[in-house]
Amino acid sequence: MTTALHEVTAVERARSEYLGEWLARYEGPTSRRTMESRLRAVQRACLECDPTTPVNLEAFAWEALDDREFFAALRNAVVERYGREHATPYVMAMRALLRFLVSRGISSRELALAALEEARLTRTPGDPEPLAFSAGDLSRLLAVCRFDPARVTGHRDMALIALTATTGARRREVVGLGVEDLDPRDRSVTLRVKGGGTRRAFLHHETTCYLDAWLEVRGDAGGPLFPALRKGGRLTERPLSDHQFWKVLGRRCEQAGVTPAIAPHDLRRWFVTSLLTSGVDVFQVSRAVGHASVQTTLRYDRRSVERLREVVESLSVPLFESLEAPEVDSGE
């Protein structure tokens, strides 16, 4: 067996050094892997290669990000591949790397400022992009999970999807859950939020049924609530990863005929939009999903502009034909 060797160039060594230093800023192995994964996704989009194709970060000219045309070309490639709705994390990784390169004197500050300004992802005001997910879609997803012949996998995925959709939790909050985070008496769950700290989310009564069915299969021993599985459905002691959550949801969407396939964050958007549509106060919705600002919550709102027409039409306005001339005081 022979292996093709690649001679590392001086340029690649320099890239390896600054990439390593930049990634080291992200504390924790998960954060580091996330940022590295985002850069690989950008590189694959630019090279127009398959998402599973191995790529070498050191072989890509990241120091050229200060060229506004190059930065814009990368941004457009990412948007074309992943869609504007999901492109932001990848563009933010590029922006963060470029700022670091400027601080190291590798990239030009003046050129970088122009690149960052021109390549900014902007939102077009107007009717928001409609939510590509419905209660019917959720029902189909849960059904294919419940009746999966692989009972362990099916019941885990069923509880995973139900809990995410009915709490609006972020995927990292969900995969980080342990059995001890559930409080059956209070019908709530304690989530570890990004940036540190915890918050409590209340469980829908039907969600507790899905969780009970899963725990009956899993057992109530300590450990991750949603563990990764070995072949044959054997439980591991490792929690499901972010990436595995994506794969689970994609596979279940395909089985249930839910198109286009959704990402875990779309369940969070569905939660916010459903509560707002049902008339829940936006401040309560903001608290429910753990947003520090109501403005952030409003960005998740996928109700159409037609909803505004309905709101306006609900006002109690006197009928034109019913108006009567006011009585005039004669002064007598």
Active site residues: 170, 194, 265, 268, 291, 300
Helices 151-167 and 205-218 pack at an angle, to 10 degrees, of: 150
Phi, psi of 75 (to 5 degrees): -60, -45
Rounded to the nearest 5 degrees, what angle is found at the Cα of 297, between the Cα atoms of 291 and 303? 155
Contacts of 124 (CB under 8 A, 6+ apart): none
What's the burial of 215, exposed, middle or buried (CB within 10 Å: 0-12/13-18/19+)? middle
Helices 151-167 and 135-146 pack at an angle, to 10 degrees, of: 160
Q: Which of 142, 53, 66, 129 is nearest to 103 (CA)?
A: 66
Counts for the chain of helices (H) and strands (E), in that order: 14, 5
Q: What's 2's DSSP letter?
A: -
Tokens for 68, please give them. Answer: 């506004």
Q: How far apart are the first and last CA of the chain?
A: 115
Neighbours of 117 (CB within 10 A): 9
Q: Where are the alpha helices (DSSP H) in 83-204?
A: 84-103, 109-118, 135-146, 151-167, 171-175
CA atoms within 13 A on the CB side of 75: 22
Query: Are the C-beta atoms of residues 93 and 35 closer than 8 Å to each other?
Result: yes
Separation of alpha carbons 328 and 330, rounded Å: 6
